[in-house]
A = this chain, B = another copy of it.
Amino acid sequence: MRAPTIRDVAERAGVSKSLVSLVLRGSDQVRPEKRDAVLRAARELGYRPNAAARSLSEQRTRTVGVLLNDLRNPWFVDLLDGLNSLLHANGLRMLLADARLNRRTGQDPADPLLDLRVDGLVVVGTLPDPAALGQVAERIPVVLAGSREPAPPGVDVVAGDDERGALLVAEHLIGLGHRRIAHIAGYGAVGELRRRSFEATMRRHGLAEQVLVEPSDMTEEGGYRTTVRLLSRPDRPTAVFAVNDIAAIGVLSAAEELGLRVPRDLCVVGYDNTSIARLRHVWLTTVDNSSHEVGRRAAQCLLARFEGAGGAGRVQLATPTLEIRGSTAPAP
């Protein structure tokens, strides 16, 4: 079976090849009835524009590449929803690549996307080496979404406001009467911002002496081990704020193992409002990053640059909210 060509479409619609070509490029120079005839013929024949050929002639694929830092942690799902809805409304498609998988096989993570000449790149989450994106950004628009690392010149950043999120958590726990509050911290810019804001909020409430901070690797196992250590102290905390949901799950396990009931004996708060935090069996109080909004704004940044907006990269922060669930309650 031969794939239908532009010539077949033209024949069926009773128009010239160049008119079909104009219609397929979205030209507004074509009369509506001609346009409809062409689109109907294309649909009926199952015609698929050859994106590779179109890419050469127009220098555009109308495709945005999305590089995910790690598919295993599903925090990015709402972000993709927001990104996709706005891109699609503008006639752009989205293709994804998994940076972790590409790195494991020694590839430069964005290569499969760049080789197919995507029109723009959205990097979701923190990459080990965001500076490497500088070269890419000289050729196509690049946006970092959900990461707070320093961006190369010309790269826009959209993320949740981590300082605001950590402040909401600290004030929630302090408002419930907790004094001795531990923070299981993370790494990178995100980890740093959350920790500093937590500490500053505690200080503002005169609780500087009550601050307990323990580093972690942001995994469930890390949250578990750190909590076992924290809870075996004589002056054990009554509440734990973990840097992300997955570490908070480790806190829940440690509490369970040590015979402490959540939230009666220990309150636990996570960060990210992942699907795991929403499970009834977990029902974790956590910070919602407004990820849908982050995705939508990332799309806006790309669209603005497609339309010629240049200049230095901008940083935009979406406002997080606190999702209060079953893992927090008044202090004993």
Contacts and interface: CB of A to CB of B under 8 A. Distances in A.
Contacts of A111: 93
| Total identical chains | 2
Contacts of A116: 51-52, 61, 63, 95, 116
A49 B115 contact: yes
Contact of A3 (B1, B49, B139, B282): B139
Contact of A112 (B77, B94, B250, B280): B94
Interface string A214-233: 00000010001000000000
A115 B93 contact: yes
Interface stretch (A81-89, A160-168, A189-197, A312-320): A81-89
A101 interface: yes
B275 A256 contact: no
A262 to B, nearest CB: 10
A85 B104 CA distance: 9
Given A63-B116, A281-B253, A107 B88 contact: yes
Given A52-B56, A95-B113, A84 B105 contact: yes
Interface in A39-88: 46, 48-53, 55-56, 61, 63, 71-72, 74, 77, 80-81, 84-85, 88
A211 interface: no
Contacts of A1: 138-139
Contacts of A29: none
Nearest to A105: B88
A50 B59 CA distance: 11
Contact of A95 (B48, B97, B135): B97
A117 B98 CA distance: 20
Interface bin, chain A: 35 or more
Contacts of A256: 281
A152 to B, nearest CB: 14
A20 interface: no
A96 B74 CA distance: 15
Nearest to A108: B48
A165 B156 CA distance: 48
A135 B45 CA distance: 12
Interface string A103-147: 011010001111111000000000000000001001100000000
A93 to B, nearest CB: 4
B115 A101 contact: no
A104 B80 CA distance: 12
A232 to B, nearest CB: 17
Contact of A53 (B56, B61, B81, B97): B56
Chain B CB within 10 Å — which of A81, A94, A115 has the most? A115
A249 interface: yes
Interface of A: 1, 3, 46, 48-53, 55-56, 61, 63, 71-72, 74, 77, 80-81, 84-85, 88-89, 93-98, 101-102, 104-105, 107, 111-117, 135, 138-139, 220, 224, 249-250, 252-253, 256, 275-276, 279-282
8 contacts: A52-B53, A63-B116, A72-B77, A84-B98, A88-B105, A94-B97, A94-B101, A224-B280
